[in-house]
Structure 1
Amino acid sequence: MSEEHGGRPEPRQSPEFRLRLPGGDGIDRPRGVLLDAVGTSGSRAFLIRAGSPARDQVMPSFAKHFGAAFKRRQELRDTGVLRRSSRWQGWLELATDVECGSPSFAAGVLVGAPRNGWVEWKTEAGAPLSDFMEGVWSGPGRAWLVRGSNVSGSDLVQRLWLPEERVSLAAVHLRQGIGQGTSKERLRTVVEEDWGSTATYNQKLELIEELHAFLSRMKPGDTVCTLSGGRFYVGEVTGAAGQAASEDGRSNLRRPVEWQSTGYAYDELPEEIQQKLSSQHDVIDLTAVRPLIDGLGRTDEELADDAEAIERDPSEVIPALAARRELELPEPGQPLADELLVHDVAWLREVRDLLWDDRQLVLYGPPGTGKTYLALKLAEFLGGGPEQVKLVQFHPSYAYEDFFEGFRPREDAETREVAFRLTAGPLRELADLASREGNRHVPHFLIIDEINRANLAKVFGELYFLLEYRNKSVRLTYSGDDFALPPNLFVIGTMNTADRSIALVDAAMRRRFAFVELSPRTEPTSGLLRRWLAREGHNSRPADLLDALNSRIEEADFRIGPSYLMKKGVFRAGGLERVWRTKILPLLEEHHYGDSIDIEKRYGLATLGKALGEGANEGANPEKPSP
């Protein structure tokens, strides 16, 4: 067994592989073979055959981010090994065989752009090079974060990983002979025996997962990332895992890596990557955000050119470009203002801007001011349809388990037995939908009606933190998953200010939400009823009565909104009197409970009609022309 390859069997004889070049139709494809020799820091070397063509141009960012491959390419050109081709105009050609440290390095030299050589070097039959690596986890390429900036107080990233082109994992108690391809069952036994009482039960569980990912799931061609000094470094795994003696056991499990030449500022990373990086584990699967990682440091044009060499259906979307599609909230225009009877389109645009800035907003005001209707209509417009909108109503018994996730009784479809199972609530369901691949640029809205009627600290739990820190993740109470709110998830709450449960809204919530008032004393609510009456062809008398009513209510939070009178039933015979008696006056009786006020005498239609100069019998007819 070879020590460099972590005790795995020697590879079988390599066939010849070919590489597709961008725009290379009509010319030969480069040819190469995988060597048994050790290449870059323990990876398998790769030999490019003489006569292989190469592109004449390089990607503009290639020299900055992939400096080693760019430098080797320039050296080959300067020495005449990579020269103008006499067979293919506008192309270069290798005069001799060239050995490279890894398949990806070889592909990068020829293409002048980053390439995953384990996938793109293929046999004549189309089998990728990775199929010929024994003891390697099968499946598509993945992306990983391995932490190394603080290993027992030492920054291994700057001291060892970048200079020596490797990534490592501390496993100070691990016995010799545990290498590439070790099963999780085997690791459970080994960790229990080798760590014993030096680690807690939870620490051992975490260690098993990290060792299994590093030794068995991670494979050549995978992307590996790390953080150091506020910068995010990206590389490619180029070989198998192996054990080695190390200082204090800080890096005794190692893998060869070709690191990009420069790192990326953490503060400039896409929010989804930052969310993943906030998870407190030493090895983290970043595959969900790999398209975003692949696009770092490259323009749209470079990504499109880079994808040209990949044999894919032309109609397929390039993952890195698709992930880069920007989230947008459409700008409200006059048609939406007319539909919602809003007095000024600028008011709608301000609400949209508040949502864009804070991603959480509360519409608050007295009953009947159209808070829920406006929230739904605005969300449907900004989200592109009702499919991206979910509504939930809070109430005093509402809990975290109802809202996000918890164990709920569920019947098994086959056995018909009822058992408690972890069940997602409306927020988790919508968050999962919003975070699906391809949905990143589509806004999704959660409408929380009567948001102040529940115990908010109890309902939101640890999610309260995420409302303010959207670029972070938290460990969930029940599932134990690391969860972050998707950037394209927006929350709109409604709050009835006449409900005394508003006292439950604490300063923490007020800091996390933007608050927009809908009040009969201000637009767009104050003139809403008049605009609706004009559109429906009715006279303005109901609006006059409502204004007269609200002028007699001293507390603004208890004034009556216009939606009570924006119904067809109001304009049937006796309809206005019926609505006034059964809906509006009971609200005022509750407000004045214990005040010894004659509600009918003060707020009745007859009283208000007289104040408006109407006759005694005119109060019940909303269609009566105004004097």
Structure 2
Amino acid sequence: MAIPKLKKQDVIDALKFIDENGVPEHNTSVKYVLVSEDGKKYPPKYVVAVADHLANSTDISTESFNSVDAKNYLESLGFSIETKQQEKFELSITAESVESTDERFTMDNLNLGDNYKPLNAYFKRANGDIIKRAYSKGERRNSNQTMPRIACQVFEKQLAALSVEDKESFPVCKYSPNSDMIRGIYTSVDEYKKHRNSLEYLTYSYDNGRQFVIYSWNIFSTIIFVQECLKRFGEPGDQFVLVYREKDEKETATAEPTYQINLDQKAKEYRNEFSSMLIKSRNLIFRGAPGTGKTYLAKEIAADIISNGYEDKYDCLTDEQKKQVEFVQFHPSYDYSDFVEGLRPKVNDDGTMGFELQDGIFKKFVARARRNYEDSQKTREDVEKEVTVQEFMAEFFSDIEFGVDTFKTINGNEFTITGVDDGHIYISIPGNAMANKLVLNLDEVRKMLESGQKFEKIKDITTFFGKTFATQGHSYDFAIYKAIRAKKSTASKTKAKQEELKKYIFIIDEINRGEISKIFGELFFAIDPDYRGKAGEISTQYSNLHFNPDEKFYIPENVYIIGTMNDIDRSVDSFDFAMRRRFRFVELKADEHLEAINETIEDEERRSEAIRRMTALNKEIAEVEDLNENYQIGAAYFAKLRTIDFDQLWTDYLQPLLQEYIQGMYDEEGIMNRFARAYGYKKPARGDANEAAQDQG
């Protein structure tokens, strides 16, 4: 069901209703807030529901639409919507108490943990020392299981020393006063399932194959287990700390399986260890073997930084946040016109073909970041003035009839406005036989209106823009400026907030596959981390074709660049040295980032088997004289095991790749046999192969 049809007055009435009756706790907003003219804040979904109730006598319900629908609809009615900065909460567990900075927390309802997402967890000794999780291969950095895993890590010896009876009676979870206590630390998954046949468990491995298996579901379900560890084994003053936040709608819809900003933001506020590295270096390249998760990691870092440590998945960013990230993949035919700017074919109004200068993907991205950076430096009064002028201009252009209403220059030349877009005003000059059409720069008229100056003659415009001579367009700028000033606007002064400074991240996948000097051109200078901002401004190759030929291009301080490259790609050797010194290079080894395996293989035994096979195969690859770690197999290949088995992974993916690696080497067959043995692949006997073929037939 779509948003109900409402009038602006219906929403205003809803705000009055909410002022008088308040907002039920379950209707408070997680992501957005409507901000009224007097600064009060309201949850958009509930506002729409109340407005529908008052206008159409329906029940007050938010079930039929989501917060994004409500946000977009209210904005279309002219209301101001802000993205809410989600609050972080901190849960402290000691032997005597459990306390949270979230006043809604209660030990009487641990099911509330379903609504929250962990951001960090650690053990803090009474003397202030902090112990963090020592992660095993493939383990997620923050999950619902992180806190109980730290408890197992800190008190591993004490837990292992418990008798079988004490382990099986060990308290783990009691969701409410009326529910039963869930108990038990078991030695294997099979033992666990004899007592509780569910997938809601964690497995902690220690001491060469031994295990603790306990019940675990949401972030609160093991609080009692953790507290019991402190009671039995901890020192006075010891505590476990869990940092968490509310899930957004996307995270709530997809439950987790069992298993304003200062540019110098501290690293501890981010979830990914490489995020702070990017902030400091500005330009980062991840290099390594194929399948090591370089692209996955780049997007994870982007989500981490853009959300200020609240998200680690790009898909969970809002549509507005996704505008702060851009992704492109280089290839041999990619060039300057794709990346920066270039001439592109255009069909003219009369049907003839021509060319026009168009910005490339990077220049468009930088323009968004630069606009945000420059706007963030403006005062609230300046922002309000600009927004008011923009609304004033929009009202003016919407009231005229394109191609019909006429205007006059100071010299008496008549013209009509035939169209307007984001950056241009298109005019027709019937009396000019030489050039009866002209394109004006919309920003020039806007800047004249925003300045507050009174322009009396053309010379005032040339002085304002720092020009020695007037251009043809200035006569028409002046005429449109006077027409807008002469029109009485019905728009009132707009109240606006100061722009928040945001970070913008540009990801270049396979950066070494493109011809770097051809793609970046003169941007080599501007892209240097030490020359961000106007200190690195340059004239681009096509600057003479710009509306303002003197306009300079620069990359603002809030732009960060991540590149990825495969070390074994033959184009690595030709990677431009001038570009090399402008990036910080980070090597990703095959066995360091195993998130792809962890994310896609739910069964722990199958996941462990995948890691074991990958490790053994990579060890064998490194022992081949003409190969090295750059040829090892990354975890992304093993993520395919979600749809195929181990043998199919070998025959269809790994074997062809490895054969390509060793082609032309001495004893190719012997090397491939060693690879197969290390991986654990056994070639089927001839009879088995025939039978398999018959079965498929």
TM-score by length of 1: 0.40
Q: Which is higher, the Rg of structure 1 or of structure 2?
A: 1
